[in-house]
Amino acid sequence: MTFSAARSATGAIIRRKLEFGAAIPVMETFNCSHDSSNSFTVTKPSGTIDGDFLLLHSVHYTNQVLNQVTGGWTALWQHILTDGSRSTSHHGFYRVVQLGDTTWDFLFDSGGNRHQLLTYRISGVDQVNPVAGWNSIGRTGGSSTLILPAALSGRTNCLLMHCLGRSDVFGGGIIVPPGDDEVTIHEDGVTNLEHFGAREDFASGGGTGTRTYTAGSTDSKAGALVLIQPSEIIPSALLLENGTDKLLFEDSSGVLLLED
């Protein structure tokens, strides 16, 4: 926090704009589950509280669209991929947790098949505009490499989440690009699906550049880069009381935050 202030010659209250640096959001916990029905229920990762940000990544073993039943989520990416006789669908959603939220239901648009979902809990996120930018790509077989396209943000101190999914867990591991902080790699021999997640502090703002991942197989795969904006309290003014050294901090609506 930085500010400067001085009394006027008449002793009147002087207002000065304050600027606070926002902390990068934190990836706290996650959960991963799988099933073979045409519906599933998303549960909150451990420790979730009101105001936390949830990022949901689903991989499904057929070419079906994922629909909300409970509602309240915002859709990000959707890739429906067909690779010979094999089809997969990849979806991304997010929401900010509100008072009273417990679980959420989703439904695929036709019969059930194997699916796997990963839900991340992230704290310290802007409550109004949590996603600063994102980009995604899906590709069928023919190459073991997946280049995630750059995302763009006008904000600094964002958290950059890397979300990848593929349709085969038996083709070897995933080679990650430098700078990644791996969160989880979840391989499931029942669904024959794989999730990979990583986090990266992105303090500078602007474009992220691409990220190149290499898997041990050429099966269908999709991925996304998601920039998550930090929360911040930005008081509108510093009040210097007439004839005293007391400092009062107000927010933009005039609510007293603290005094020193």
Q: Is the per-residue pLDDT at 251 higher than 60?
A: no
Tens digit of pLDDT for each residue in 102-156? 899 888 776 556 778 889 999 999 999 999 999 999 888 777 888 899 999 988 9
Q: Do 93 and 140 share a domain, yes or no?
A: yes
For 214, which DSSP code? E
Distance from C-alpha of 251 to C-alpha of 212, rounded to nearest angstrom:
43
Domain count along the chain = 2
Backbone angles phi, psi at 20, to 5 degrees: -115, 135
Q: Which of the pair, 38 or 213, is modelled with greater confidence? A: 213
Same domain, 142 and 239: no
pTM for this model (two decimals): 0.78
Query: Looking at 69-180, which runs of residues are DSSP E strands?
Result: 74-83, 86-96, 103-108, 115-123, 131-139, 145-148, 152-153, 158-166, 174-175
Question: Looking at the structure, do residues 45 and 113 belong to the same domain, yes or no?
Answer: yes
253 lies in the same domain as 142: no
Mean pLDDT of 236-241: 44
**Domain shared by 170 and 241, yes or no:** no
Yes or no: say if 230 and 23 are a contact pair by the CB < 8 Å rule: yes
At 29 the three-state DSSP class reads strand
Say whether both 219 and 242 belong to one domain. Answer: no
Strand-pairing partners, residue 202, are 158
Residues in the chain: 260
Residues of the domain holding 135: 26-228
Tell me the pLDDT tens digit for each residue of 18-63.
445 579 999 999 988 877 777 788 999 999 999 999 999 988 877 7
